[in-house]
Structure 1
């Protein structure tokens, strides 16, 4: 190894220190499990979130110390005349499908059988109690302008928030959060709040751009609650031009997905579009189960439910009826062509987020990642390839000062990946420095 000086770019710098300060009472690092809206849409009798104490105990046993959820602030505290719905929410899911089953039955996150009613405010209180008992903190977000209301039997929740003019939605969200935080304070749960996100993935939700009023509302809410970390999250931040992210966010909770080979497959089979003539195309038909109905035979969820979510009916049909073995085989075969670019993309995106956070002096988190949206029983991301990409992202995030990170978006009780218990324990021990 030469001792000759070859320029400042060759001098190693330690960037592993946190990108920004966090409140002293919160964990030094967050090992995050993503429960999104599923913690109340999969809470029927005998389902994974019916017993929140058991679910929290299990998460803690796997080494998690943080849970990220949709806290449904607009439903619970939006002042939209939905109090009766909040205390008696009829969860339907996307609705019954012809021939038995339900729409979304083999579609990740949308596999909601429904058929029960829930007091969502009481369920939230129970989650705080269970989290405290098991040493967990909560990251509170809203998925309401992305998909949460689509799982209700009644369209009232969606219609109420959709009636808020587009330009006023960030203010409405901030006001709802303000009231929710007052309630949290009154319940004695404030120290369990690790982070508040005005909304999840503002760039993929029915909201204006964050710079069009959203960042101002984050700043207003931060001024009302200066002891809390408050921000908004991006699904795909502008990694090549991070100066476009507006100032004023209290944390960089941005998501890192490297679709790569998955995106190549999705484009090939045109599964994420809407209203494509001749759907499904020949490439998708070749991947469907032998008994798959046609889209006309299968039908589609109610129109209002599709308006209430950013996924399309082609996605619901395709993921419900794709042969996951054929799906995974295609990804496995084609992955070598994309391997290096996917690793580099994960690395460069994580570093861009961390460096932006360090420049802003705020903590960085990766609350979702790493490959992308796969069928419920697909195993590409859970397999050796996907786990390798996840571990690369996690190590990169820790090396560059991230405060919190998910092992994988699919590592949660409502996904099959929850059964990879030893892997989760190992990864979470790495995150927490144990």
Structure 2
């Protein structure tokens, strides 16, 4: 019997190969470890980035060929009168707590004890030198309008960039990137640059919409450096309305998070808000450690630090004092209700951004993913469920021609997940071996 034709929607139209061309000197696939700003905010003695050469060597041994960093272009090359600060940046973290600990101690990314000073100009070159020795390429981004300055002891960095009018910030970033790229080129590291992002997660940073000047700044920077891939990244890509993105992005660098069960918990305990009356609510109190102080006894970081970051005071308090086992137990118990929607969200969003990249004929990169922001000691994302979702996202990305991807946002030296060496080696090998 002849097979029936049931319409064009039943025909597999998946294209093969990468979504767009990549420069010849770059790897055929990128396996990315997200070092963000931590490569300079967690460089305390004995910290995960105290020895940059060792950190690069370990990343390469685990199968990574790419690191993604905040290169602090506004601090280093923004011409904002901050050269003295860039040459002697005093790292404090969120600061000391009244009980002798420090704010953010049990959060991810904010668990910076501080207590040291670095020359960030020199450190950037040291990082590129180490990357070259170990065969790594670097994705350059900025987190400066999202949180990087909050880790400094001085508020001077934050005040300088915050005084720039909102409508002028993309142009400032483009000019700073031009100077930073020139400095790296002079140092012999131009071919070590895998991608330049005008800014990380423009939709979750203190910036206008990318359509309001950001697209023009990307085009300007691409014109100055036509051999480099230049773009901006989104924390939540508009996967249902990709046509609204500005034209001219040199790569599709999007982040694929499916909060699902995590979002349900966050709403239940009201942990991402600020200035909520009667915080913490009963649901959050039921998940706190027995020794948790009240918010009043816990105290607050300097007010300017909250202005310099998009993370709220309620989240810092909650994550510092959550019982990680109780947190994980709630997620595991409720996950079954959200499993299919989380899998479908990851799959559909990857397919949407890959399809947009193929239409634009640019390489696609997933620079962050897959579940979301969890407490430092929570293991839900690192556990069997989180790894299953990561594999699902990676498989979908490979099937649809995505060029580069993370194993997960927590797969980096400053997270406990870094110790799961076997899974990282196996998964990176799978990505690199994919045709």
Q: Report matched runs for 1:304-383 at 5 Å.
A: 304-383=304-383
**Cα distance in 1 between the residues matched to 2:7 and 2:138:** 44
- 2:276 is matched with 276
- 1:258 is matched with 258
**Cα distance in 1 between the residues matched to 2:15 and 2:346:** 17
Q: 1:15 to 1:162 in 2, by over 3 A?
A: same
Q: Give unpaired runs (5+ residues) of structure 1.
A: none
Q: Report matched runs for 1:295-310 at 5 Å.
A: 295-310=295-310
Residue 126 (structure 1) aligned with residue 144 (structure 2): no
| Other structure's SS at 1:127 match | helix
Q: Report matched runs for 1:170-189 at 5 Å.
A: 170-189=170-189
| Other structure's SS at 1:5 match | coil
Number of positions where the alignment pairs a residue of Structure 1 with one of Structure 2: 434
**Cα distance in 1 between the residues matched to 2:314 and 2:204:** 18
Quote how far apart the aligned CAs of 1:50 are. Answer: 1.0
Quote how far apart the aligned CAs of 1:237 are. Answer: 1.1
Quote how far apart the aligned CAs of 1:16 are. Answer: 3.9
**Cα distance in 2 between the residues matched to 1:15 and 1:318:** 45
Quote how far apart the aligned CAs of 1:10 are. Answer: 2.4
Residue 240 (structure 1) aligned with residue 240 (structure 2): yes
**Cα distance in 2 between the residues matched to 1:16 and 1:60:** 28
Aligned CA-pair RMSD: 1.0
- 2:424 is matched with 424
Q: Give unpaired runs (5+ residues) of structure 2.
A: none
- 2:103 is matched with 103
- Contact conserved, 1:15 with 1:399, CA < 8 A, in 2? no
Quote how far apart the aligned CAs of 1:11 are. Answer: 2.5
| Other structure's SS at 2:168 match | helix
**Cα distance in 2 between the residues matched to 1:45 and 1:322:** 27
| Other structure's SS at 1:254 match | strand
| Other structure's SS at 1:69 match | strand
Residue 139 (structure 1) aligned with residue 171 (structure 2): no
* TM-score (normalizing by structure 2): 0.99
- 1:218 is matched with 218
**Cα distance in 2 between the residues matched to 1:2 and 1:99:** 77
| Other structure's SS at 2:45 match | coil
**Cα distance in 2 between the residues matched to 1:2 and 1:382:** 49
- 1:403 is matched with 403
**Cα distance in 1 between the residues matched to 2:407 and 2:31:** 8
- 2:163 is matched with 163
- Contact conserved, 1:77 with 1:177, CA < 8 A, in 2? yes
